[in-house]
Amino acid sequence: MQSALEELGVDTRLQSAIKMEQICEPFIRRKAVRHLEKGRVVIFGAGTGNPYFTTDTAATLRAIEIEADVILKGTRVDGIYTADPEKDKTATKYETIKFDEVYSKGLEVMDMTAFTLCKENNLPIIVFDMNKNKWEI
């Protein structure tokens, strides 16, 4: 991802909670925020460095720490549906849905820890199909 963005002329930094100096910087919140202030894209890799936490939870934690405006959830479908559209052809897509509706309908957007962190921190989630969307920068 970093290489693809840099080929487009986007200045990026890669940070990780797991020490890998040859590949990326260590995750330091203040440094990440400073990169963002300078107009760089910051990519957070390798999760939190702790067992039992999914990549969804790691992404949500980092987003909260840097005071992001939104979480972008790349998956194999282009939004949130009434059921898994890969398994249920009658599933319909929600244009918008509230956090409490996702809970009450038992929808699986992301792991519950990450989803709850988003709700508690008023962090919107945009779900997109990472295999079909084309980004223009």
Confidence of residue 137 (pLDDT cuts 50, 70, 90): very low
pTM, full prediction: 0.84
| Residue 93, domain member (yes or no) | yes
| Residue 92, domain member (yes or no) | yes
End-to-end CA distance of the chain: 14
Confidence of residue 119 (pLDDT cuts 50, 70, 90): very high
Would you report the helix, strand and coil content of the chain in percent, each value rounded to 5? 30, 20, 50
Residue 7 CB: number of other CB atoms within 10 A?
A: 8
| Residue 35, domain member (yes or no) | no
Q: Which tokens sit at 65? A: 């720490």
Count up the domains in the chain and report the number. 1
Q: Given a cut of 90, is residue 5 above it in pLDDT?
A: yes
pLDDT at 1: 87
Residue that the structure tokens 């969804």 belong to: 56
| Residue 61, domain member (yes or no) | no
Q: Given a cut of 90, is residue 136 above it in pLDDT?
A: no
Specify the higher pLDDT residue, 131 or 10: 10
| Residue 54, domain member (yes or no) | no
| Residue 98, domain member (yes or no) | yes
**Range scoring the smallest mean pLDDT among 38-42, 98-102, 125-129, 133-137:** 133-137
| Residue 125, domain member (yes or no) | yes
Q: In terms of residue numbers, what domain contains 86?
A: 70-137
Nearest in space to 57 (alpha carbons), one of 17, 20, 93: 17
| Residue 88, domain member (yes or no) | yes
